[in-house]
Amino acid sequence: MDNRILTFFSASDIFDHMVTRPLSHINANWELSWDNIEEKFEVEENSYASILNDLLIELSLLEPPRAYHDNEDQLAEYCKENLNWPIYKEGRFWRGMEYVYILEQGGFNDEDQKNLCLSVAGRLEAALIRGQLHFDEMEDSHQKILADVMAIILYHRS
């Protein structure tokens, strides 16, 4: 297990605001507390802590892909081909729809959120390589998409 993943999310000041608060319409108890001794989120009734703790363990066991965008591209291709969305790839970027919506809708066909989890694992590895050792230290745009992808996983697993 890669303990860097647990450390990356430990005692964040903004993680719950960016990841679980947007899902407060599903579980009203969106605020999270980090247990420094147990190195996990404190489990509370009707919160995302248990799902997140399981997800962090899952992520820490994954081999990060070299090109996590390939996993995201598979979700976009699903939307394009099966949902007939008018999206297209221009260079490295998908156009025609907000990227977060593409990933969210593509996630409905992503068994066990495999591509989404690999995307997160790849994004985490990229942050660590860049010396961003904690969620709160990430560059804003990368932090936002990482939070969005994690929220999408929670949405699908809720």
Tens digits of per-residue pLDDT, 133-156? Answer: 999 999 999 999 999 999 999 999
Residues 39-97: tens digit of each pLDDT? 999 999 999 999 999 999 999 999 999 999 999 999 999 999 999 999 999 999 999 99
Instruction: Assign 10 a pLDDT band (cuts: 50, 70, 90).
Output: very high
Instruction: Please state, in angstroms and rounded to a whole number, the distance separating the CA atoms of residues 103 and 68.
Output: 13
Instruction: Please state, in angstroms and rounded to a whole number, the distance separating the CA atoms of residues 45 and 148.
Output: 23
* pTM assigned to the model: 0.96
- Type and span of the H or E element at 41: strand 40-41
Instruction: Assign 1 a pLDDT band (cuts: 50, 70, 90).
Output: confident
Mean pLDDT of 25-37: 95
Contact 15, 120 (CB under 8 A): no
